Amino acid sequence: MKSEILQLLREAARSGSFLSGQELCTRFSVSRTAVWKAMEQLKAEGYEIEAVRNRGYRLKAEPEDVYSAAGIRSLLETQTIAGSLQFAAQIGSTNEAAAQAAREGAPEGYLVAADRQTAGRGRRGRTWISPAGCNVYFSVMLRPQIRPDRAPMMTLLMAQAVCEAMEELCPASAPESVRPLIKWPNDIVIDGRKVCGMLTEMSAEMGDVRYVVIGVGINVKRQEFAPELEGHAVSLEEAWGIGVSRSALTAAVCNRFEPLYQRFLREQDLGFLRRPYLKRLVNAGRQVRVLDPAGEYDGIARGINETGELLVELPDGTVREVYAGEVSVRGIYGYTE
């Protein structure tokens, strides 16, 4: 109820009106005491709410950044994604929590978000440093009716959704250099530095997908990065020079991801995504090094195909489709090989 009340308060505030306490009691079939408690909880989270006798409640100001379930829910426009939501001040790993929820029968779209992770991880078992109070960490659990070999395509869907959400919140006056771009397959970069990473994990049985979990980590507030990341990582606040609401960013990603995911389920490939993805692909037209177990090789990235594989043009003009493996891009994150 708290998130619904916050959403109603925002709508009333846009028109400069008050929200009647009696109207809330009737709408949610609760007592005035229950409404009062919800308002007090919102105040405790930093929302400035005015109460006037015979007029009701009015939202006067919102805190700069409250990362919470209520804050996320109040901004969602989805039908399935984040329909069920778990929020924790601290958690081991949002991906593991989402996978556990899947094993326990959670519905598709189940979202786990946290202010801090103590066991966050990235691709290939790398540690994902996840401090409190400054970043976005969330994982969405899906139950797609697809072949297991198509699950990696959903990483590209999420990358597109994250870019669209960032662009929605980015100042209109911001230069092109601080617009988000995609480093295939799972990073978002701004001005050559990493701002977001993703990890997609799947559980399958007898050729059927049981569930897929997509984890997202976004650097939001100014912060000190580990020495090995200095110059290679950036936050939205540093890049844009403004504060960004973590709840608004999480909700915006969910809102953008749902229609992309629904279309993917209908079409079963990424043909519809190739053109918009190419516009954001920082690798496009650039020298890349493919770290293939069979042997490293260089080429020019030419975009993606319908199944999300990176198209790499070799020196002899042939094009190779890169399905898996680490891809390094000259000039990105300081790579020089």
**Residue 337 has what pLDDT?**
33
Between 107 and 30, name the one with better pLDDT.
107
**Residue 195 has what pLDDT?**
95
**Residue 337 in domain:** no
Domain hosting 32: range is: 2-61
**Residue 335 in domain:** no
Residues 144 and 131 in one domain: yes
**Residue 331 has what pLDDT?**
57
**Residue 257 in domain:** yes
> Per-residue pLDDT tens for 13-55?
778 788 888 888 888 888 888 888 888 888 877 778 888 888 8
DSSP secondary structure letters along 292-307:
-TT--EEEEEEEE-TT
Residues 173 and 254 in one domain: yes
Number of domains within the chain: 3
User: In the listed set 239, 262, 278, which residue is the last one of a domain according to the structure?
Assistant: 278
Residues 208 and 290 in one domain: no
User: In the listed set 61, 86, 104, which residue is the last one of a domain according to the structure?
Assistant: 61
**Residue 127 has what pLDDT?**
58
CATH of residue 318's domain is 2.30.30.100
* 266/276 Cα distance (integer angstroms): 18
User: In the listed set 278, 294, 311, which residue is the last one of a domain according to the structure?
Assistant: 278
CATH of residue 214's domain is 3.30.930.10
Residue 80 has pLDDT above 80, yes or no: yes
CATH of residue 32's domain is 1.10.10.10
Residues 207 and 155 in one domain: yes
Residues 39 and 107 in one domain: no
Residues 205 and 127 in one domain: yes
pLDDT category, 119, cuts 50, 70, 90?
A: confident
Residues 81 and 155 in one domain: yes
Query: What angle is formed at CA 114 by the lines to CA 113 and CA 118, rounded to 5 degrees?
Result: 130
- Chain centroid to CA 225: 20
For range 251-272, the mean pLDDT:
97
Residues 221 and 237 in one domain: yes
Instruction: Name the nearest CA neighbour of 124 among 321, 284, 327, 333.
Output: 327
> Per-residue pLDDT tens for 226-254?
776 767 899 999 999 998 999 999 999 99
